[in-house]
Chains A and B, each alone.
Chain A
Amino acid sequence: MTTAGQSILTNRRVLRNVLLIGAACVLLAMLAPLVADQRPYRLLQSSITGVLVGGVYALIALGIVIINKASGVFNFAQGWMMLLGGLLFYTFFSASASISPLAALLLPALTAIMVTTTNSWRSLRQPRTLAIAVGITAVGFALLMLAGDDLRLVRAVVGAVFGAVLTGLAIERFAIRPLIGQPLFAMVLMTLAISELLHGVLQMIWGSVEIPLTVFAGLGTAGIPMPIRIQANESLGGTIIVRTELLVAFLLALLAFAAFVAFFRYTSVGLAMRATAENQKLAQSVGLRVRTILAVAWAIAAILAATAGVLQGGATSLSLNLPLLALSAFPAVLLGGLDSISGALIGGLVIGLVQEWANLLFPGTQAGTELAPYVVLMVVLIIRPDGLFGQKRIERI
Chain B
Amino acid sequence: MSANIRPSGVFDTSYAQDIALNRTRTDKLLSLGGFLVLLSIPLLTSEGPLGLGIIPNLWVGTLNRIAIFIIAVIGLNVLTGFTGLISLGHAAFMAVGAYTGAILGRELGLTFWLALPLAALITGTIGLLFGLPSLRVKGFYLAMATLAAQFIIPWVLRYPLEPLTNGSRPLEVPVPTLFGLSFASDSAMYYVIIPLAVVLALAARNILRTRVGRALISVRDNDIAAAQMGINVFSYKLQAFFIAALYAGIAGCLSAYNTNSVTLDGYLLDTSITMLAMLVIGGAGFPLGPMFGVTLVLMLQQIIIPTLISPLNDLLPRLLPFINPVNIYAALSPLLFGLILAVFLVFNPRGLAHRWEIIKIAWKLRPFSH
With the chains together, A188 CA to B284 CA distance in Å?
A: 14
B140 at the interface (CB under 8 A from A): yes
Q: List the one stretch of A189-197, A288-296, A308-316 in contact with chain B.
A: A189-197
Chain B at the A interface: SS class: helix
Contacts of A178 on B, CB cut-off 8 Å? 346
Interface string of A156-197 (1 = CB under 8 A from B): 000000000000000000010011001011101110111111
Most interface-central of B145, B222, B336, B338 (chain A CB within 10 A): B338
Given A185-B284, A186-B345, A189-B345, also A370-B338 (CB < 8 A): no
B335 touches A204 (CB 8 A): yes
A148 at the interface (CB under 8 A from B): no
A381 touches B145 (CB 8 A): yes
A377 at the interface (CB under 8 A from B): yes
With the chains together, A78 CA to B334 CA distance in Å?
A: 17
B262 at the interface (CB under 8 A from A): no
Scan residues 189-235 of chain A and give those whose CB is less than 8 A from a CB of chain B: 189-190, 192-208
A381 touches B136 (CB 8 A): yes
* Pick from A190, A199, A375: contact of B152, CB under 8 Å: A375
B136 touches A189 (CB 8 A): no
Q: How far is the CB of B2 from chain A (nearest CB, A)?
A: 19
Given A175-B342, A190-B345, A377-B144, also A370-B273 (CB < 8 A): no
Interface string of B27-39 (1 = CB under 8 A from A): 0000000000000
- Chain A residue with the shortest CB-CB distance to B281: A189
Question: Which of B's residues lie within 8 Å of A, judged by CB?
Answer: 80, 84, 86, 132-133, 136-137, 139-141, 143-145, 147-148, 151-152, 154-155, 158-159, 222, 224-225, 228, 269, 273, 276-277, 280, 284, 316, 322-324, 326-328, 330-339, 341-342, 345-346, 349
Contacts of A374 on B, CB cut-off 8 Å? 147-148, 151-152
Question: Which of A's residues lie within 8 Å of B, judged by CB?
Answer: 74, 175, 178-179, 182, 184-186, 188-190, 192-208, 327, 330-331, 334, 362, 365-367, 370-371, 373-375, 377-378, 381-382, 385, 395, 397
With the chains together, A192 CA to B274 CA distance in Å?
A: 10
Q: How far is the CB of A71 from chain B (nearest CB, A)?
A: 13
Given A377-B148, A378-B152, also A184-B139 (CB < 8 A): yes
Most interface-central of B148, B152, B280, B335 (chain A CB within 10 A): B148
B342 touches A194 (CB 8 A): yes
Contacts of B345 on A, CB cut-off 8 Å? 179, 182, 186, 189-190, 193
With the chains together, A367 CA to B152 CA distance in Å?
A: 10
A378 touches B133 (CB 8 A): yes
B155 touches A196 (CB 8 A): no
B331 touches A184 (CB 8 A): no
B327 touches A193 (CB 8 A): no
Q: How far is the CB of A119 from chain B (nearest CB, A)?
A: 20
Contacts of B148 on A, CB cut-off 8 Å? 331, 374-375, 377-378, 381
Q: How far is the CB of A313 from chain B (nearest CB, A)?
A: 19
* Pick from B80, B140, B143, B335: contact of A197, CB under 8 Å: B335
With the chains together, A182 CA to B284 CA distance in Å?
A: 14
Q: A365-B159, A397-B224 are in contact. List 17 more A-B contacts (CB 8 A).
A: A179-B349, A182-B345, A185-B280, A189-B276, A192-B277, A197-B334, A197-B338, A200-B339, A203-B331, A208-B330, A366-B155, A366-B159, A370-B155, A371-B151, A377-B144, A382-B132, A397-B228
Contacts of B337 on A, CB cut-off 8 Å? 196, 200
A367 touches B155 (CB 8 A): yes
Chain A to chain B contacts (Cβ below 8 Å), 16 pairs: A186-B280, A186-B349, A188-B86, A188-B140, A196-B334, A197-B334, A200-B335, A200-B337, A203-B327, A208-B330, A365-B159, A367-B159, A378-B133, A378-B152, A381-B145, A397-B225
Given A175-B342, A370-B155, also A200-B140 (CB < 8 A): no
Q: How far is the CB of A307 from chain B (nearest CB, A)?
A: 24
- Chain B residue with the shortest CB-CB distance to A206: B327
A208 touches B341 (CB 8 A): no
When A and B form their complex, which 3 residue pairs have the shortest distance between CB atoms, in order from nearest?
A200-B335, A196-B338, A197-B338
Contacts of A377 on B, CB cut-off 8 Å? 144-145, 147-148
Q: How far is the CB of B132 from chain A (nearest CB, A)?
A: 8
With the chains together, A214 CA to B147 CA distance in Å?
A: 34
B276 touches A192 (CB 8 A): yes
A371 touches B327 (CB 8 A): no
Q: How far is the CB of A254 from chain B (nearest CB, A)?
A: 26
With the chains together, A196 CA to B338 CA distance in Å?
A: 5
Contacts of A205 on B, CB cut-off 8 Å? 322-323, 327
Contacts of A378 on B, CB cut-off 8 Å? 133, 145, 148, 152
* Pick from B136, B228, B277: contact of A193, CB under 8 Å: B277
A203 touches B334 (CB 8 A): yes
With the chains together, A292 CA to B247 CA distance in Å?
A: 45
Contacts of A395 on B, CB cut-off 8 Å? 224
Q: How far is the CB of B207 from chain A (nearest CB, A)?
A: 20
Contacts of B136 on A, CB cut-off 8 Å? 381-382, 385
Q: How far is the CB of A207 from chain B (nearest CB, A)?
A: 4
Most interface-central of A189, A208, A330 (chain B CB within 10 A): A189
Most interface-central of A198, A385, A397 (chain B CB within 10 A): A385
Contacts of B273 on A, CB cut-off 8 Å? 192, 195-196
Q: How far is the CB of A372 from chain B (nearest CB, A)?
A: 10
* Pick from B141, B143, B277, B333: contact of A200, CB under 8 Å: B333
With the chains together, A74 CA to B139 CA distance in Å?
A: 12
Given A185-B284, A189-B276, A367-B155, also A204-B147 (CB < 8 A): no
B342 touches A204 (CB 8 A): no
- Chain B residue with the shortest CB-CB distance to A182: B349
A189 touches B333 (CB 8 A): no
- Chain A residue with the shortest CB-CB distance to B327: A207
B133 touches A200 (CB 8 A): no
A201 touches B147 (CB 8 A): no
With the chains together, A178 CA to B342 CA distance in Å?
A: 11
A193 touches B342 (CB 8 A): yes
Q: How far is the CB of A377 from chain B (nearest CB, A)?
A: 5
B323 touches A204 (CB 8 A): yes
A74 touches B331 (CB 8 A): no
Q: How far is the CB of A13 from chain B (nearest CB, A)?
A: 12
Q: How far is the CB of A323 from chain B (nearest CB, A)?
A: 11
Contacts of A200 on B, CB cut-off 8 Å? 331-339
* Pick from B133, B155, B269, B349: contact of A382, CB under 8 Å: B133
With the chains together, A195 CA to B338 CA distance in Å?
A: 7
With the chains together, A178 CA to B61 CA distance in Å?
A: 39
With the chains together, A395 CA to B84 CA distance in Å?
A: 17
